[in-house]
């Protein structure tokens, strides 16, 4: 009956919808951050989405500063920011600060966390830290081909349930899983998929109380501050860059910038 092949009608068929825009970043609708441990293939994912050719190489710390590019998908334009790879957001090397400040102050619409499927446990440390900061994240479980080669199996659905965010298995070097990733970025950005990210639960009662007290003080002062608990925890830990953000009024800007968006 239909003279179109079935693939074309299926909603999973996204090939024609993705338009790589390179560095043409005018009038973007959404901002996507690309975070993750070093050497997990962030730049390869970035190149796949934007059509750019950021240099990729098998050594950690190769992306310096941050690279930006764009793509469009189903009439929406996305700017994508490739952050330097970090193992954590806790200590303060320049790389970690660049990554954290962008996720915290840049308020990306979606944060795609690229993780190495063959070393999931260590990668999860960073994933959990990012989930403390942002609500809208996707785990891009990359290097699935390597995982298969090394006989590592991952229960993707259980992982997604545990983390409370979508998990997309990919092999970016072979472009596998990229259409699914793009579709999910669009779903999370537009609010079609609502994340309920995992938050740390096993704090001691004293710590939980301390966080609660300070967070209340913070929200009294800055109504609408996103992730007040996290800011409170950082302040208790004496994180110097957050203290400075508070003193310089950057934290305030954060509230002001987000309120109109919420309305």
- Looking at the Cβ atoms of 34 and 143, the one nearer to other proteins is 143
Pairing state between β 137-142 and 110-116:
parallel
C-beta of residue 195 within 8 angstroms of C-beta of residue 136: yes
Question: What tokens does 227 get?
Answer: 């992730």
Burial of residue 41 (number of CB atoms within 10 Å: 0-12, 13-18, 19+): buried
Tell me how many degrees the CA angle 32-165-14 measures, rounded to the nearest 5.
60
Question: Using CB under 8 A as the criterion, what x/- string covers residues 17-56 for binding other proteins?
Answer: ---------------------xx-------------x-xx
- Looking at the Cβ atoms of 8 and 207, the one nearer to other proteins is 207
Tell me how many degrees the CA angle 29-34-40 measures, rounded to the nearest 5.
155
Is residue 255 part of the contact set for other proteins (CB under 8 A)? no
Residue 11 CB, nearest distance to other proteins (Å)? 27
Residue among 58, 75, 205, 263 that touches other proteins (CB under 8 A): 58
- Looking at the Cβ atoms of 15 and 203, the one nearer to other proteins is 203
Which stretch, 10-18, 25-33, 102-110, 246-254, contacts other proteins (CB under 8 A)? 246-254
Q: Which of 117, 180, 124 is nearest to 150 (CA)?
A: 117
Enumerate residues 148-207 that contact other proteins by CB under 8 A: 149-156, 158-159, 162-163, 173, 198, 200-204, 206-207
């Amino acid at each position: 009956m239909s003279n179109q092949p079935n693939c074309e009608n299926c909603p999973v068929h996204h090939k024609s919808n993705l338009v790589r825009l390179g560095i043409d970043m005018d009038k973007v609708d959404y901002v996507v951050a690309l975070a993750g441990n070093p050497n997990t293939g962030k730049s390869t994912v970035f190149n796949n989405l934007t059509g750019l050719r950021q240099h990729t190489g098998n050594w950690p710390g190769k992306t310096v500063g941050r690279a930006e590019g764009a793509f469009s998908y189903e009439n929406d334009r996305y700017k994508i920011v490739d952050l330097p790879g970090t193992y954590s957001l806790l200590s303060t090397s320049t790389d970690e600060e660049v990554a954290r400040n962008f996720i915290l102050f840049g308020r990306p619409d979606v944060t795609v966390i690229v993780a190495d499927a063959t070393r999931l446990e260590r990668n999860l440390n960073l994933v959990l830290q990012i989930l403390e900061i942002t609500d809208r994240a996707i785990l891009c479980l990359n290097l699935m081909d390597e995982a298969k080669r090394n006989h590592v199996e991952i229960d993707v659905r259980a992982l997604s349930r545990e983390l409370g965010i979508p998990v997309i298995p990919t092999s970016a070097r072979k472009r596998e899983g990229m259409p699914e990733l793009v579709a999910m970025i669009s779903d999370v950005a537009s609010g079609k998929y609502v994340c309920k990210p995992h938050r740390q639960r096993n704090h001691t009662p004293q710590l939980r109380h301390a966080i609660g007290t300070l967070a209340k003080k913070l929200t009294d002062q800055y109504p609408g501050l996103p992730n007040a608990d996290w800011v409170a925890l950082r302040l208790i830990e004496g994180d110097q860059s957050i203290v400075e953000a508070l003193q310089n009024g950057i934290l305030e800007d954060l509230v002001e910038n987000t309120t109109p968006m919420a309305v």
